């Protein structure tokens, strides 16, 4: 029996929320970054965060915005979050987080929120705090502000290949281009250029005090199979550890065996399993 109601959390509970997020610094990284930047006030955060547990003993969190992300969600919390969310219109484009919580939510929400465009139930979550044991690629570097036009087509190709839809489909790609611009401006976008074209790219899409989370890793199709990814990725990991955060993390689809081998060579170790439901 559920005896603890779900409630929307506000700025007065920020310290308790941050303590919970510190307990799961990799799976909760995206939520931690948003709260560090904008707090818990919904009008600033572009989302809201639900809590489960007694007021003096917060147990679980659920971020609701462009994505829906459960954090440290117990079975009871998953059931309680789902009961509340089932009565709301789905506005998020995905559910992503620890696999047990995401799949538990989807089992309860699929009847009202379905169908999903794709369900990825097994995405290894990886992290490292050690400099890569392999040589780096000196040609991989941070993308400069004047190179966004060169980076953007590669970013669109990566997104389309990974997510299954083009980021240009909504608002002609203006919001996605702003995101790419922001990453470049923040020194969080990396690429290797050959004859002015991007042949490798990656971004530190999420940065917290605990980790820099790499996303958007992509090798141009004509360069795949040439063995450039390991050294390129090693460059990103080395720079992130020396300049940005004490750990580097990422998650990858279980079926992407070439990428998983690259990450293993760069020193990444498994720290859990995520799942993603895409709409």
Whole-number pLDDT of residue 64? 95
Given a contact cutoff of 8 angstroms between Cβ atoms, the answer to whether 83 and 265 are in contact is no
Residues 58 and 169 in one domain: no
Residue 152's pLDDT is what? 97
3-state SS, 187-251, equals CCEEEEEECCEEEEEEEEEEECCCCEEEEEEEECHHHCCCCCHHHHHHHHHHHHHHHCCCCEEEE
pLDDT tens readout for residues 89-101: 999 999 999 999 9
Query: The pTM is what?
Result: 0.93
Is there a domain that residue 134 lies in? no
Co-location of 145 and 266 in the same domain: yes
Closest CA to 126 of 262, 215, 234, 248: 248
Would 50 be classed as within a structural domain?
Answer: yes
Residue 201: predicted pLDDT: 98
pLDDT interval class at 54 (50, 70, 90): confident
Residue 244 and residue 150 share a domain: yes
| Number of structural domains found in the chain | 2
Distance CA 168, CA 155 (A): 11
- Are 102 and 187 members of one domain? no
Last residue of a domain, one of 115, 149, 184: 115
- Cα separation of 208 and 163, whole Å? 24
Same domain for 199 and 163, yes or no, is: yes
Q: Are residues 108 and 171 in the same domain?
A: no
Residue 133: pLDDT over 80: yes
In the three-class reduction of DSSP (H, G, I as helix; E, B as strand; rest coil), residue 8 is classed as strand
At 1 the pLDDT is 47
Least confident of 39-53, 144-158, 265-279: 39-53
Same domain for 249 and 183:
yes
Query: Is 166 a member of any domain?
Result: yes
Predicted local distance difference test score (pLDDT) of residue 41: 78
Same domain, 109 and 145: no
Structural domain including 104 reads: 7-115
Q: What mean pLDDT, rounded, does the chain reach?
A: 95
* CATH number, domain with residue 187: 3.40.630.30
DSSP 39-53: -S-HHHHTSEEEEEE
For residue range 58-100, what is the model confidence (pLDDT) as tens digits?
999 999 999 999 999 999 999 999 999 999 999 999 999 999 9
Per-residue pLDDT, averaged over 20-34, amounts to 97
| pLDDT tens digits along 223-275 | 999 999 999 999 999 999 999 999 999 999 999 999 999 999 999 999 999 99
For the cut 60, the answer to whether the pLDDT of residue 2 exceeds it is no
Among 81, 115, 149, give the residue marking a domain's end. Answer: 115
């Amino acid at each position: 029996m559920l005896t603890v109601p779900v409630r929307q959390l506000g700025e007065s509970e920020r310290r308790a929320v941050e303590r919970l997020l510190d307990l799961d610094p990799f799976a909760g990284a995206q939520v931690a970054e948003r709260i560090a930047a904008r707090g818990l006030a919904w009008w600033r955060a572009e989302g809201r965060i639900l809590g489960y547990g007694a007021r003096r003993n917060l147990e679980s969190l659920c971020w609701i915005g462009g994505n829906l992300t459960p954090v440290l969600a117990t079975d009871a919390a998953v059931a309680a979050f789902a009961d509340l969310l089932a009565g709301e219109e789905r506005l998020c484009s995905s559910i992503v987080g620890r696999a047990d919580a995401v799949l538990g939510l989807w089992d309860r929400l699929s009847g009202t929120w379905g169908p999903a465009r794709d369900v990825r139930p097994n995405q290894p979550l990886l992290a490292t705090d050690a400099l890569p044991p392999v040589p780096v690629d000196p040609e991989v570097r941070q993308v400069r502000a004047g190179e966004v036009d060169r980076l953007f087509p590669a970013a669109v190709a990566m997104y389309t290949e990974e997510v299954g839809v083009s980021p240009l489909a909504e608002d002609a790609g203006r919001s996605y281009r702003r995101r790419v611009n922001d990453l470049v401006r923040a020194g969080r976008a990396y690429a290797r250029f050959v004859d002015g074209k991007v042949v490798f790219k990656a971004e530190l899409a999420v940065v917290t005090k605990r980790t820099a989370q790499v996303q958007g890793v992509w090798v141009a199709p004509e360069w795949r199979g040439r063995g450039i990814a390991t050294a390129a990725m090693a460059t990103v990991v080395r720079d992130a550890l020396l300049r940005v955060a004490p750990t580097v993390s990422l998650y990858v689809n279980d079926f992407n065996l070439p990428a998983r081998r690259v990450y293993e060579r760069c020193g990444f170790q498994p720290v859990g399993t995520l799942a993603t439901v895409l709409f």
